[in-house]
Structure 1
Amino acid sequence: MPTATLTRIHLNRRHRAARTDLADAVSLHKTLMRLVPDHLGPHPRARAHLLHRLETGPDPFLLVQTTYLPDLTALPPGYGTAHSHDLTPMLRALRPGLPVRYRITAAPTASRIADAVPHPTTGRRRGKTISLQGEAALAWWQRRATAAGLEVTTSWAAPRPFPRSSQDRPAVHHTLTQFDGTALITDPHALTTAVLNGIGKGKPYGAGLLSLAPA
């Protein structure tokens, strides 16, 4: 099992870089990529299993998960205070039937084949990706949770704001939804894979990190 580390970063809202990252998903992604080693190949975020979630409020903080020990000295000086702990004991304790509480901010999507345009060469239709909200988003989470080794017992959803990129950066478009609730573990191996790899799209921009706690 890869060693997974969860880091909590309490942001200093008076720090210029922290304020920028709170408002710009691409800038935040670049800051967090400093925490993992260089030269990880063409897909460094996926190789490092870097996932994060921004918890908003009067005292906002970041949850950052990696399978490399994060280099916290790479954060800008004064950016915030950070503490890390090893997730391995939690992952090893997962058992079938164990009740857990979960939280995930995700980007629920579906492919709409009816709107697809045939490829000019192959003729294949690739569906248009659409964002899901409301009951459709809850149904999406139910399917993803089942595949991830969870039997959902309670679930509620709330829209989450997506920090848009600055105009001089590539546009990133996701609709985020936070899912909270309780579940029973059905497949610890599938659940461990989901925790390490994340769920759904938008992982570089604050989606996909699944958090678990005893129910």
Structure 2
Amino acid sequence: MPYLSRIRINPLRAGSRKLLASPRAMHAAVEGGLPGLPEQERTLWRLDPDNPHRPQLFVLTTNKPDWTHLVEQAGWPGADGEHYAVRDYAPLLQQLAPGRSFAFRLTANPVQNTNRPDKPTERQQERMDAGVRRSFRVGHRTAAAQLNWFLTRTRRWGFDIPAAPNMDGTHGADGESPREIRITTRLRRSFGKGAITAKEAHVVMNAVTFEGHLRITDPALLTERLLSGIGPSKAYGCGLLTLAPLTERV
């Protein structure tokens, strides 16, 4: 049974500063709240810094977690209020139906596969010089490419993005009406994986947060994406798609 958790983070604590600065450290802290073995859990997480003074960590887990250690390390352990909330995810999944609309948020790492990167890393250049024919996974760097990555994949994820209300009837440069989606943050992250070999120990990713409205086309496909995540870098805070019910328009 899946559970969605929300944990309050105190950015002034020494422990929280470490977690906020390192996706690798945050991943380890998330794993520490799970009762089962890490390989037996399917976990997604996302940090939402809407309020920099009160960032919130969202985590989707297979089994019911305990976030006491995170509150003690990076929260307000002695303060009033709800330090973290754990909710059964099944009721939301039961609401999914064709044609239903939801508000959504997703932080993802938009990537593409290519045989010849425009700006290869040292490791990629060595592989090309050695004649390695396997394609490379590289991140999309522009907002337009990142948005296109999202919009061209929604059908396989079980939803589409409706056209935005447009009072004057104008269209975009491509002749299509604007969609109900926007990019709210774009953050390039670079950090070590903790591996021994330096060339394999570095992660570079573009964490892009998309927000907007979606309309369900295939509940089964959408359920799969909600539970297993979207795109790569899931261990580092990408892939968790969350939904909020909308009042249907009349």
Q: TM-score, normalised by structure 2?
A: 0.75
What amino acid does structure 2 have at the position aligned with 1:55?
A: D
What amino acid does structure 2 have at the position aligned with 1:11?
A: I
Q: 1:125 aligns with which of 130, 133, 149?
A: 133
Shift of 1:18: 1.0
Distance 1:114-1:61 versus aligned 2 partners, 3 A rule: same
Mapping of residues 1-215 of structure 1, within 5 Å: 3-40=1-38, 44=39, 47-56=40-49, 57-75=52-70, 77-80=72-75, 81-115=83-117, 125-132=133-140, 133-153=142-162, 154-161=180-187, 164-165=190-191, 170-215=201-246
Deviation sequence 1:130-151 (CA, Å, 0-9, x none): 1113111111111332211011
Shift of 1:182: 0.9
What amino acid does structure 1 have at the position aligned with 2:207?
A: L
What amino acid does structure 2 have at the position aligned with 1:87?
A: Y
Q: Where does the alignment leave 5 or more consecutive residues of structure 1 unmatched? A: none
Deviation sequence 1:55-107 (CA, Å, 0-9, x none): 11221110111111012234362522211111100001100000111110000
Percent of pairs with identical residues: 31
Deviation sequence 1:100-138 (CA, Å, 0-9, x none): 111100000001124586797xx8732221111311111
Structure 2 distance, partners of 1:187, 1:111, is 27
Moved more, 155-164 or 85-94: 155-164
Distance 1:38-1:162 versus aligned 2 partners, 3 A rule: farther
| Structure 2 contact 3–87 (Cα < 8 Å) conserved | yes
Structure 2 distance, partners of 1:138, 1:70, is 34
Distance 1:168-1:48 versus aligned 2 partners, 3 A rule: closer
Structure 2 distance, partners of 1:125, 1:166, is 26
| Structure 1 contact 149–191 (Cα < 8 Å) conserved | yes
Moved more, 111-120 or 135-144: 111-120
Q: Secondary structure at the match of 1:173?
A: strand
Distance 1:55-1:168 versus aligned 2 partners, 3 A rule: same
| Structure 2 contact 102–215 (Cα < 8 Å) conserved | yes
Shift of 1:152: 1.0
Shift of 1:167: 9.3
Q: Where does the alignment leave 5 or more consecutive residues of structure 2 unmatched? A: 76-82, 118-123, 163-179, 196-200
Shift of 1:155: 1.4
Shift of 1:186: 0.4
Q: Pairwise CA RMSD of aligned residues?
A: 2.4
What amino acid does structure 1 have at the position aligned with 2:104?
A: Y
Deviation sequence 1:160-183 (CA, Å, 0-9, x none): 335543697742211111111111
Q: TM-score, normalised by structure 1?
A: 0.86
Report the count of equivalent residues. Answer: 206
Structure 1 distance, partners of 2:113, 2:216, is 28
| Structure 1 contact 5–84 (Cα < 8 Å) conserved | yes
Larger Rg: 2
